[in-house]
Amino acid sequence: MIAADATTTGRPVHKKRFMTHAQQGAWTRALLMGIYVAITAFPFYWMFITAFKTNSDLYTLSNNPLWFNELPTFGHVIYLFNSTRFGTWMLNSAIIGVVVVLITLAISTPAGYALARLDLPGANQMGMAIFATYLVPPTLLFIPLTRVVYFLGLQNTIWSLALILPTISIPFAVWLLMGFFKNVPREIEDAGLVDGCSRFQAVMQIVLPISKAGLAAAGMFAFAISLQAFLYPLVFTSSTAVKPVTLGVVTDLVRGDIYYWGELMAGALLAGLPVAILFNVFLDDFVEGITGGAFK
């Protein structure tokens, strides 16, 4: 694998051998990656094929499990939408996700900007302190938080999640945005001020548009956090109608000890796919946000 260095920095003296070496390296890499990806992407294939198999196909042991032995069916998907609250769960997740993004950006953007640009004494220490709370895992907080949520009268509502989930995204987003705002050249902002903008206008019209990759990364992170969350939904919500989709699928499609695998996999696929696509669209922004912003 270290051959990667050799191929990119090959000595010019051996130009001819270097070329074949590079090609060989590329194909070896493609093969190794192919094997790795085939193994790690298998669960998605397995979700897909299970979601569209009939029950008799799924539970006949002599069948080849890797392919359709009977005609594919939309039965599980139809069941999800007609006989479960799958649509409600998706809607709950979307509402929670959007509210969490809005709260996160509304609170983190001013904080990140002020800590990065306003020369506040102790700004770096404050930024660090806020970031430190990102490392306090939900496991340490969920028991007392159930009481806090109860006290606020939010137990068993989607608003409990809209309120609590930003505690995971805000610390990270403040840190991420601090990094982004530090990278906006002061001269550009000052040019706006010289131009007669107020500070607020300079921020709105110059700094924020330049930092849109950072804002996208922070928003994306907040959205992902709210969709990924499992422990908080598990302890704050109990009624079918208020569950987010990740919780609804894995708890409500199991009756007693009976797992409805066709419905479970159809639900996992339909809920997981949009998230995966969204993530892929924003992936580069996100990686830039983390590596370029926070850990430069």
Partner 1 sequence: MATLARGVAVQRSLTDRLRAPRYTGYLLVLPAIVYVLALIGFPLVLGVWYSLTNTTVAEPGHFIGLQNFVDVAKDPTFRLAVRNTLIIGIVATAAKITLSVALAFLMLGAFPGRGIMRILFVLPWTIPIALSTIAYKWMFISQYSVVNWIFIRLGILTDPGINWLGTAVPAMAAVIFVSTWRAVPFGAITVLAGLTAIPTDVIEAARIDGAGWWARFIKVIVPIIAPILFIALLFDLIFTLSELTVVFILTGGGPVDQTQVLANYALQVGVNGTQLGQGAAISLYMFPVLLVLTILSLRHIAKREGM
Q: Which of residues 260-289 bind partner 1 (CB under 8 A)?
A: 261, 264-265, 267-268, 271-272, 275-276, 279-280, 283, 287
Total residues at the site for partner 1 (CB under 8 A)? 111
Using the rule CB under 8 A, which residue among 70, 74, 78, 199 binds partner 1? 199
Stretch that binds partner 1, among 28-36, 74-82, 154-162, 211-219 (CB under 8 A): 28-36
Using the rule CB under 8 A, which residue among 14, 19, 59, 78 binds partner 1? 59
Residue 239 found at the interface with partner 1 (CB under 8 A) = no
Between 78 and 118, name the residue whose CB sits nearer to partner 1: 118
User: Minimum Å distance from CB 78 to partner 1?
Assistant: 20
Between 59 and 81, name the residue whose CB sits nearer to partner 1: 59
Q: Are 45 and 60 in contact (CB under 8 A)?
A: no
Using the rule CB under 8 A, which residue among 53, 84, 160, 166 binds partner 1? 166
Residues 5 to 24 in contact with partner 1, rule: CB under 8 A:
5-9, 22
What's the distance, CA 119 to chain centroid? 32
Between 68 and 131, name the residue whose CB sits nearer to partner 1: 131
Place of tokens 């403040």: 174
Using the rule CB under 8 A, which residue among 96, 101, 170, 242 binds partner 1? 170
Place of tokens 């001269």: 187
Q: Are 85 and 240 in contact (CB under 8 A)?
A: yes
Residue 216 found at the interface with partner 1 (CB under 8 A) = no
Bridge-partner residues for 255, per DSSP? Answer: 258
Using the rule CB under 8 A, which residue among 227, 243, 285, 293 binds partner 1? 227
Residues 64 to 103 in contact with partner 1, rule: CB under 8 A:
65-66
Task: Label residue 52 exposed, middle or buried (CB < 10 Å: 0-12, 13-18, 19+).
Answer: buried
Give first-to-last CA distance, the chain, whole Å. Answer: 26
Using the rule CB under 8 A, which residue among 91, 95, 102, 148 binds partner 1? 148
Q: Are 76 and 263 in contact (CB under 8 A)?
A: yes
User: Minimum Å distance from CB 77 to partner 1?
Assistant: 15
Residue 40 found at the interface with partner 1 (CB under 8 A) = yes
205-206-208 Cα angle (round to 5):
85
110-113 CB contacts, 8 Å cutoff, 24+ apart: 111/174, 111/177, 112/173, 112/174, 112/175, 112/176, 112/177, 112/178, 112/180, 112/181, 113/177, 113/181, 113/203, 113/207
User: Minimum Å distance from CB 61 to partner 1?
Assistant: 7
Residue 161 found at the interface with partner 1 (CB under 8 A) = no
Place of tokens 């094929």: 49
